[in-house]
C-alpha cells in the first residue's frame, strides 16, 4: 500500500467554511483511500493564502516530522503562500520530500508575489491543476515544463431531478457572497426584470465579506426586489441537492473563476446554467450534441446578464432546448473516481522517480532567472 500525506487547510469539513477547494480536497482524499492509498491528512490552521508567522511555523513543524522521501500533496491555497517553508534557500526540503502541488487557483501576482509562487513550484515534482484553463494560465506565467503540469477536473455526484416550473423563474446562485462571485451584478440584472415572475436564492457563506453582504441587502431593498431574494447561507449535502432540485436555472455571475464546481453540480441535477464566459466556466459547462446546456455572457456586465436572463424567462422554446441539453450533459459528467485516478497516476509517477531534484521554474516577469 502506498502512503501519501495531504496537506490541507484546517476545517475542510466545516460546513461554515464550505468552498469548492475544500470539497475537492475531501473528495480526492476519500477516492484515494477507496483506491487503496494510505492517506494521511495534515490539516494546518491559518488564514491561507495570507498566513501569519504562527501558521507558517505550524506548517514547517508538520513537514519536519515527515520521513525522508515522503510523498506529499499540498493544497495550493497553502503552498503558494508558503515560500519561506517550502522553498528555503538551503533547498533542504526539495531534497528530502517528494512534493506535488495541487493548484486550485493561480495566486502569483495577486494575493502573493509571483516570485513566491514560482519558488514554491520549483520544489514540486509535479503540479496538478483543476482545469485546463488553470493549466494554461500556469504555463503562460511560469517557465514550467508542460509534461509536469497535469489536469484533474472536479467530478460530480448524481443528483435527483426536479420538476421545472413552467415559467422557469426559480433562479439559484451558489457561491461565497463576495465581489469576485458577482452577486451584485446579478441583483442589478434582476432589478431590470421586476415585471417577470422570478425568485432568486443566493446560497453561500455570508461571513467572508459582511460589508458586501450588507451592500447586497441595501441594493435589493433599493430596487424593490428584497422580498424575492433569499440568502439562506451555506448549504451542503442533501440540503444543497434540494436547492438544485428546486431550481430552474443556475446563474454564475462570477468576475473570475478557475473552473466553477457549481456548474457540473447543477447539470448533475439536470439544471441549465447561465454563466459568465470567464476562466474555466465554459470548460465546466461543456457542450453536447444538441448544443450548450446553458448560456454564456460577457463577464462584469450586468446588462449582458439581464439580457441572458430575459431570454431565459421569456422564451419557452429556449428553456426546453437548454433543459434537454442539460439532461444530455448530465449523462456524460465524470465522477470523482476519475478525478482521483488522475491524481493517483501523478502520485505513482512521482513516487517512482529515483532522485529528489525538483522542477525548476522561472517567472516570465523575472526575465528568465530562476526564482
> Could you report the per-residue pLDDT of 211-249, keeping only the tens digit for each?
999 999 999 999 999 999 999 999 999 999 999 999 999
Question: Does the bond joining 323 to the residue before it have cis omega, within 30 degrees of 0?
Answer: no
User: Is a pLDDT exceeding 90 seen at residue 300?
Assistant: yes
Residue 94: what pLDDT?
76
Comparing 355 with 139, which gets the higher pLDDT? 139
In a domain? residue 146: yes
Residue 95: what pLDDT?
82
Domain count, the chain: 2
Q: Which residue has the cell 519536519?
A: 64
82 plus 120 within the same structural domain: yes
User: Is a pLDDT exceeding 50 seen at residue 371?
Assistant: no
In a domain? residue 162: no
Tell me: the pLDDT tens digits for 113-124? 999 999 999 889
Comparing 95 with 13, which gets the higher pLDDT? 13
**How far is it between the farthest Cα atoms of the chain?**
67
141 plus 192 within the same structural domain: no
In a domain? residue 163: no
DSSP, res 161? -
In a domain? residue 358: yes
Residue 368: what pLDDT?
33
143 plus 174 within the same structural domain: no
326 plus 212 within the same structural domain: yes
Q: Nearest-CA neighbor of 141 among 158, 127, 160?
A: 127
In a domain? residue 278: yes
Tell me: the pLDDT tens digits for 13-51? 988 788 899 999 999 999 999 999 999 999 999 999 999
Distance between CA 357 and CA 348 in Å, rounded? 17
Distance between CA 57 and CA 75 in Å, rounded? 17
| Arithmetic mean of pLDDT over the chain | 93
Can you give the CATH number for the domain in which 144 is found?
3.40.50.2000
70 plus 146 within the same structural domain: yes
One-character DSSP codes across 251-315: EE--S--SS-THHHHHHHTT--EEEES-TTHHHHH--BTTB-SEEEE-TT-HHHHHHHHHHHHH-
Tell me: the pLDDT tens digits for 171-202? 999 999 999 999 999 999 999 999 999 999 99
347 plus 327 within the same structural domain: no
283 plus 349 within the same structural domain: no
User: Is a pLDDT exceeding 60 seen at residue 345?
Assistant: yes
186 plus 121 within the same structural domain: no
Residue 17: what pLDDT?
83
Mean pLDDT calculated for residue range 83-90: 86
Work out the pLDDT band at 74, boundaries 50, 70, 90: very high
19 plus 145 within the same structural domain: yes
85 plus 111 within the same structural domain: yes
Residue 354: what pLDDT?
76
Distance between CA 46 and CA 52 in Å, rounded? 7
In a domain? residue 257: yes
User: Is a pLDDT exceeding 60 seen at residue 1?
Assistant: no
Residue 51: what pLDDT?
96
Residue 351: count other Cβ atoms within 10 Å of its Cβ: 16
247 plus 131 within the same structural domain: no
218 plus 342 within the same structural domain: no
Nearest 5 degrees, angle CA 296-CA 343-CA 271?
30
Question: What is residue 339's three-state secondary structure?
Answer: helix
In a domain? residue 246: yes
In a domain? residue 164: no
User: Is a pLDDT exceeding 70 seen at residue 366?
Assistant: no
Residue 207: what pLDDT?
93
Can you read off the three cell numbers belonging to residue 144? Answer: 514550467
Q: Which domain holds residue 279?
A: 170-332
Tell me: the pLDDT tens digits for 131-173? 999 999 999 999 899 999 999 999 998 899 999 999 999 999 9
Mean pLDDT calculated for residue range 356-367: 44
Amino acid at each position: 500500500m502506498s502512503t501519501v500525506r495531504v496537506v490541507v487547510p484546517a476545517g475542510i469539513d466545516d460546513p461554515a467554511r464550505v468552498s469548492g477547494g475544500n470539497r475537492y480536497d475531501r473528495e480526492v482524499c476519500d477516492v484515494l483511500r477507496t483506491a487503496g492509498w494510505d492517506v494521511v491528512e495534515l490539516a494546518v490552521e491559518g488564514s491561507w493564502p495570507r498566513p501569519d508567522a504562527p501558521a507558517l511555523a505550524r506548517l514547517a513543524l508538520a513537514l519536519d516530522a515527515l520521513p525522508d522521501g515522503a510523498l506529499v500533496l499540498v493544497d495550493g491555497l497553502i503552498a503558494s503562500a508558503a515560500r519561506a517553508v517550502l522553498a528555503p534557500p538551503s533547498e533542504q526540503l526539495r531534497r528530502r520530500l517528494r512534493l506535488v502541488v495541487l493548484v486550485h487557483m493561480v495566486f502569483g501576482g495577486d494575493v502573493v508575489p509571483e516570485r513566491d509562487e514560482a519558488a514554491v513550484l520549483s520544489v514540486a515534482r509535479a503540479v496538478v491543476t483543476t482545469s485546463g484553463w488553470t493549466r494554461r494560465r500556469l504555463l503562460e506565467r511560469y517557465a514550467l515544463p508542460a509534461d509536469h503540469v497535469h489536469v484533474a477536473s472536479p467530478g460530480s455526484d448524481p443528483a435527483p431531478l426536479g420538476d421545472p416550473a413552467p415559467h422557469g423563474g426559480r433562479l439559484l446562485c451558489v457561491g461565497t457572497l463576495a465581489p469576485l462571485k458577482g452577486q451584485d451584478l446579478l441583483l442589478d440584472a434582476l432589478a431590470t426584470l421586476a415585471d417577470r415572475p422570478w425568485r432568486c436564492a443566493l446560497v453561500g457563506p455570508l461571513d467572508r465579506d459582511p460589508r458586501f453582504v450588507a451592500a447586497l441587502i441595501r441594493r435589493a431593498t433599493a430596487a424593490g426586489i428584497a422580498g424575492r431574494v433569499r440568502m439562506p447561507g451555506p448549504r451542503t449535502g442533501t440540503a444543497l441537492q434540494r436547492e438544485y432540485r428546486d431550481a430552474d436555472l443556475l446563474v454564475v455571475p462570477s468576475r473570475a473563476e478557475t473552473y466553477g464546481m457549481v456548474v457540473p453540480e447543477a447539470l448533475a441535477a439536470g439544471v441549465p446554467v447561465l454563466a459568465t464566459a470567464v476562466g474555466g466556466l465554459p470548460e465546466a459547462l461543456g457542450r453536447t450534441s444538441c448544443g450548450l446546456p446553458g448560456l454564456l455572457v460577457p463577464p462584469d456586465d450586468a446588462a449582458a446578464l439581464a439580457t441572458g436572463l430575459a431570454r431565459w424567462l421569456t422564451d419557452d422554446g429556449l428553456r426546453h432546448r437548454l433543459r434537454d441539453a442539460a439532461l444530455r450533459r448530465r449523462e456524460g459528467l465524470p465522477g470523482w473516481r476519475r478525478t482521483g485516478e488522475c491524481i493517483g497516476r501523478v502520485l505513482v509517477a512521482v513516487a517512482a522517480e529515483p532522485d529528489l531534484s525538483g522542477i525548476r521554474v522561472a517567472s516570465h516577469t523575472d526575465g528568465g532567472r530562476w526564482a
